[in-house]
Amino acid sequence: MSYGPKPWHQTNWDFRAAFNFMFGSAGAGLLVAAALSGASGNALRAEMLLGMALIGAGLVSVWFEIGRPLRAMNVGFNPFTSWMTRESYAAGLVFALGLAAAGFASQPLALAAAFAALVFAYCQGRILQAAKGIPAWRVPALIWLVLTTALAEGAGLFVALAAVFDAPARGALAYVSLALIARAFAWSIYRGGAAKIALRAALAVLDRSGKILIQFGTIAPLALLLAAWFAPDAARILVLLAGIAALATGWQFKFVLITRAAYNQGFALPHLPVRGTR
Amino acid sequence: MTRWAMVADLRRCVGCQTCTASCRQANATPPEVQWRRVLDMEVGEYPAVKRAFVPVGCMHCDEPPCMHVCPSTATKKRADGIVTIDYDLCIGCSYCAVACPYQARYKTDRASFAYGIATPSEEQGFDPKRLAVATKCTFCVERIDAGLAKGLKPGIDPEATPACVNSCITQTLSFGDIEDPRSNVSQLLAENQTFRMHEELGTGPGFYYIWDKKDGEKT
């Protein structure tokens, strides 16, 4: 049975919140990719600073959305149950370790910052999953989709940047390939979970976005990376395109997830009132 | 121990929205903010259509998702089950609003009044602390506390009872302590079949809906 009024799209979080998830995960993923790449010197510095700048841009974006921006520090008051508080702590740790890593061009510190960035991305997944009012968000598998999307976006950005300056190392190409496959796998599991609880309207939107994620965000970049393997002359441009595709499709998915697929729970009566004759 | 709860008898509600109007007057909520709403729900195809009027609002849950997600600890649950918001702590992030499965929370960024300029009544009730932060039904907690301090009984004495319950013309809404087996609400729950909204989510709403008598009491 279905009862009205029908669920409607949430109006509380808009593109500014979406930017936090888009920039935050790309920044976190870039920090991980940079740390794992073994980059050193100015290359490490630049990548760490760019990753932190992206995370910072996401947080600034969401700061513009909150009603009382001057009280923003209150976000840190509930580490016991709120994933938003934990995200803010993780962000603090990322900036502290990331700045130290950039300052000293230190690989161990970069690895520590990458771990904090992973925690940050995980917190972002948990933030969405804890929103019980939005069926498409409270799917448990969304946590892993957000995490793998962060890795794929960051890896995409990393190889794209690397391709601008030089031919990326094969290890980096293998890493981005794995991240893309993991993201596609996580999408498939998430879609299965969403089918059980999300609204049809939300599923329709997610499917369109998921199709882009798979076709242009997984198959196309993997094909480009494979082509780059066999065509060294065109490798840099092919890798650049693959990286951009990995990043852009992840961002479009997050944007859709927050601003298009977030239908609320609506209301439902398991029983209708029994009045008069039975 | 006390656990304040509300009971709505769906067989009685006529959808007059008096509770909504009463809540708005008592709590001075701005236009488009209705802490107590009455949904007009239809089901079926003509001619087999059924209709129900369903009062909704904050369910004052046992496990409030809004409280768990709140990063500032502005949302709290009292020992008596009432979920409150500290307007001085809230940062207006709206995380609670997306976490609430009952769409019970509102955020109004700027002052607005029914006729543009504030009426004397709106002026009196206007609270700038409520701007740009989350707001919701409080079960008229100030009335309850003030009533209790005077030795009154919430749910029985109107002065200590939520405004929506007082105003209900069909006695659809009842309020009381479900931990007290002799209370009005405990008796209603004992005599009738009830459900709670979205119970499967594990929030433990403190708002019960009566939909029929219990089997043994049917005529």
Report pTM.
Answer: 0.95
- B76 to chain A: which residues are within 8 Å by CB? none
**ipTM exceeding 0.90, yes/no:** yes
Polymer length in residues for chain A? 278
- A3 to chain B: which residues are within 8 Å by CB? 41-43, 52
| CATH code for the domain of B173 | 3.30.70.20
Residue ranges covered by each domain of chain A: 15-259
Is B72 within 8 Å of A77 when comparing Cβ atoms?
A: yes
The per-residue pLDDT string of chain A (278 residues; one tens digit each, 9 = 90 and over) reads 444 578 999 999 999 999 999 999 999 999 999 999 999 999 999 999 999 999 999 999 999 999 999 999 999 999 999 999 999 999 999 999 999 999 999 999 999 999 999 999 999 999 999 999 999 999 999 999 999 999 999 999 999 999 999 888 889 999 999 999 999 999 999 999 999 999 999 999 999 999 999 999 999 999 999 999 999 899 999 999 999 999 999 999 999 999 999 999 999 899 999 987 66
Is B70 within 8 Å of A78 when comparing Cβ atoms?
A: yes
Query: Minimal Cα–Cα distance from B151 to chain A, Å?
Result: 36
The count of CB pairs under 8 A between chains A and B is 159
For residue A134, count CB atoms less than 10 angstroms from its CB and return exposed for 0-12, middle for 13-18, buried for 19 or more: buried
Domain region containing B162: 4-213
Task: Bin B149: left if φ > 0, else alpha if -120 < ψ < 50, else beta.
Answer: alpha
Thinking of the domain A15-259, which architecture would CATH place it in? Up-down Bundle (1.20)
What does the pLDDT average to over B69-92? Answer: 98
In a domain, B218, yes or no: no
In a domain, B219, yes or no: no
State whether residue A5 sits within 8 Å of chain B by CB.
yes
- Any residues with CB less than 8 A from the CB of A188 and at least 6 apart, and which? none
Q: How many domains does chain B have?
A: 1
- B40 to chain A: which residues are within 8 Å by CB? 4-5
Is the pLDDT assigned to residue B117 strictly greater than 80? yes
State whether residue B95 sits within 8 Å of chain A by CB.
yes
Residue of B nearest to A16 (CA): B93
Is A272 within 8 Å of B211 when comparing Cβ atoms?
A: yes
- Any residues with CB less than 8 A from the CB of B60 and at least 6 apart, and which? B4, B5, B6, B77, B81, B82, B83, B137, B139, B205, B206, B207
